[in-house]
Structure 1
Amino acid sequence: MQDPEPDGSKAKRKAQSRAGRPRLGAETGRETILCKALDGFARRGYEGVNIRDLARQAGVNIALANYHYGSKAALWEACLERLRERAAPSIEELTAIAASGLPYGDRLCRFYAAFIRFNAALPEYGLFILQEMVQAGERQAQVKVALVDPFHDVTLPLLQEGIALGLIPPQDASLLFFTHSIAISHVVAGQGLIASFLEAQDRREQTLAELLRTMIRSITGVLPQDFEQALANA
């Protein structure tokens, strides 16, 4: 019986099939590239990342990086999506805290404690945002929608509730959110500067607790009388 496909055609098809598939262990390589890229984009910005360098750092061939991501823009978008996925459980936790039946003060403190823990566990989140917030463009808009707006949208009603209750001084709740979210994310992201406050576990917990107290005092506007007078005279 005649072979319906010439040997030469079969060999060519097999070679093409092999060329089109990543080698064994490609998924591990893909994940390693993504982790290296996330760290690179967060700490050096878009222009500071080179796919060839990332592939070398990840210990994979540049062809594998190109196979999975194709371009630096696509790799950046994959990092953006990874951060969005990592933030999703935190958004759910914050939503549950805000909607719980606890007294307002308890909800506010637990809410900000959870937000601080999230940023401390994933400093790349705040750094990635910072890299794109300093320059306008399409990437900035993508970051705002994917990484900033979800936290803003869950925080804003809680702050507005506190203002309505008279527990937070009257002010622009959105500006309050941005002021504190930037302060929190960038303080814990700058771990090289405050490493001594975060390395030892007991000191780390104390530092995060002190950061929480600072944020709550700032939100509620509770200051000693001497400072209130000094601010009035400034």
Structure 2
Amino acid sequence: MPDNIPPPALEPERPALKGRDRLIMVAMQLFAERGFDGVTVRDIAKEAGVSIGLINHHFDSKEGLRAAVDAHFLERTSKAIARGAREMASTDLEKMAEYQRNWIRQYADEWPSFAAYLRRAITENSEWGEHLFREYYDSISKMIMRFDAEGRVSDDADRLWLPLLYMFMLIGPLMLDPYVKAMMGKSTYDPEMWGRFQKAMKHLFWNGASPR
């Protein structure tokens, strides 16, 4: 596997969100805190400081807004998975850890909402959670299939369970983060903590799944 991957660079600072994008992030935060059924369009409009009419103009309904939130969440996490897959082509675990630290720093303002949103969706055991889980699984599965096609997965690895095991390793920190923070004084998504986790996870993953 090649090691000549350039170090990750931070993107320029993004301007403050406004308009449609701000509504999406406000809705994501409220859905994460209260669940989809526990939030009204009026709640979202009040928190965002806009009229209900503006939400209807952009999204038609609360269901339309949730679809936009889901699309934004999946677009962001799919990009992260795709970039992570490219980064995993390296056998330099410290380089991979630094990439992950930079990624967390870059999205530090958004990531807590993303993590809380997925945590709420999964624990609600609803169509909303099932949809997100399936989409998340598809992204991971495609990454594993690409590795398999490149001959980077051992013949005796269980192709059914490999993407699920990878998901378990990613969702574990998501679900347990409040307890990790209480016990260790730092969130799992602290840049240094996340870099160490990714390094340990990928060491375990490749040592356990790749051909000798």
Q: Structure 1: how far apart are the matches of 2:115 and 2:147?
A: 21
- Take 1:171 and 1:88, find their aligned partners in 2: how far apart are those partners? 20
Whole-angstrom distance in 2 between the partners of 1:142 and 1:171: 19
Q: 1:97 aligns with which of 87, 95, 118?
A: 87
**Alpha-carbon offset, residue 210 of structure 1:** 3.0
Residue 147, structure 1, aligned to residue 133, structure 2: no
- How far apart are residue 79 of structure 1 and its match? 0.2
Give the share of equivalent positions with the same residue, in percent: 19
Q: What is the rounded CA distance, in whole Å, between the counterparts of 2:192 and 2:144 in structure 1? A: 24
Q: Which of 68, 74, 80 is 2:64 aligned to?
A: 74
TM-score, normalising length: structure 2: 0.64
Alignment check: 8 A CA contact 1:36 1:54 kept: yes
Match of 1:211 among 186, 197, 200: 197
- What does 1:46-85 correspond to in 2, within 5 Å? 46-85=36-75
Contact 2:141 2:163 in 1 (8 A): yes
Amino acid at match of 2:175: H
TM-score by length of 1: 0.59
| Partner in structure 2 of residue 127 of structure 1 | 116
Question: In the alignment, which residue of structure 1 is the partner of 2:28?
Answer: 38
Structure 1 residues 205 and 192: alpha-carbon distance in aligned structure 2, compared to 1, 3 A threshold: closer
How many residue pairs were aligned? 187
**Is the 8 Å Cα contact of residues 83 and 147 (structure 1) preserved in structure 2?**
no
What CA deviation, in whole Å up to 9, does each residue of 1:53-79 have, x standing for no partner? Answer: 110111111222222222211110010
Matched-pair contact (CA < 8 Å) for 1:94–1:111: no
Give the Cα–Cα distance (whole angstroms) in 1 for the partners of residues 62 and 98 of structure 2.
35
Gaps of 5+ in 1: 1-26, 222-234
Contact kept? 2:96, 2:199, Cα under 8 Å: no
**Which aligned pairs between 1:162-177 and structure 2 lie closer than 5 A?**
164=154, 172-177=161-166
Judging by fraction of residues, say which structure has more helix: 1
Larger CA Rg, structure 1 vs 2: 1
